[in-house]
Amino acid sequence: MRKTLFLDRDGVINHDPGDYTMSVEEFVLLPTTIQALKSAADKGYQIIVITNQGGIAKGLYDHAEVHRMHAKLQAACREAGCEITHFYYSPHHPDFSKSLTRKPNALLMERAIARYQVDTAQSIMIGDKLRDIQCAAAVGVKGIQIPTNDDLITYVSALN
């Protein structure tokens, strides 16, 4: 069993402009993101991203663009000597379809827990919305809600 740092994406890892991050050009990492992810990895955490990407359902961007954003982040992580274990995202939006993958539902976290042997008692979810914390609570993971676009390193530094 492995301790895991679950992270929301927009507003935690990258700058959230207030609506949607629609392209890799708009995907701007927050200043301490890579330092925070490296610190978490050095503390023995595997890192998994769990994110709602409802803009796909709205037709604002597509799956390929999400994959480009995630590849950009993964490349920056690898350059720093760490890695994101997996990216899980829900392409659904409640105005268009219902899905158990969309937070606050916990299906994506359940999948991650099963696939990557997550020790829920030692794991943390950091998100900037209540739905992130509700999702984590549903699977027995402690949630930490932070202000949108805050300094991630502050919270990761406090982890064991």
Contacts of 109 (CB under 8 A, 6+ apart): 6, 50, 88, 125, 135, 136, 138, 139, 141
Provide the whole-model pTM: 0.96
- Alpha-carbon distances, residue 103 vs 40, 59, 65, 97 (angstroms): 23, 19, 21, 13
Candidate list 8, 16, 128, 132, residue with the active-site label: 8
Least confident of 33-37, 93-97, 116-120: 93-97
Q: Tell me, what's the pLDDT at 160?
A: 87
37-61 residue pLDDT tens: 999 999 999 999 999 999 999 999 9
CATH number of 4-143: 3.40.50.1000
CB of 13 closer than 8 Å to CB of 7: yes
Q: Residue 10 catalytic?
A: yes
Among 104, 113, 116, 77, which residue's Cα sits nearest to residue 8? Answer: 104
Candidate list 10, 16, 128, 132, residue with the active-site label: 10
12-25 residue pLDDT tens: 999 999 999 999 99
Q: Which helix (H) or strand (E) holds 35?
A: helix 33-42
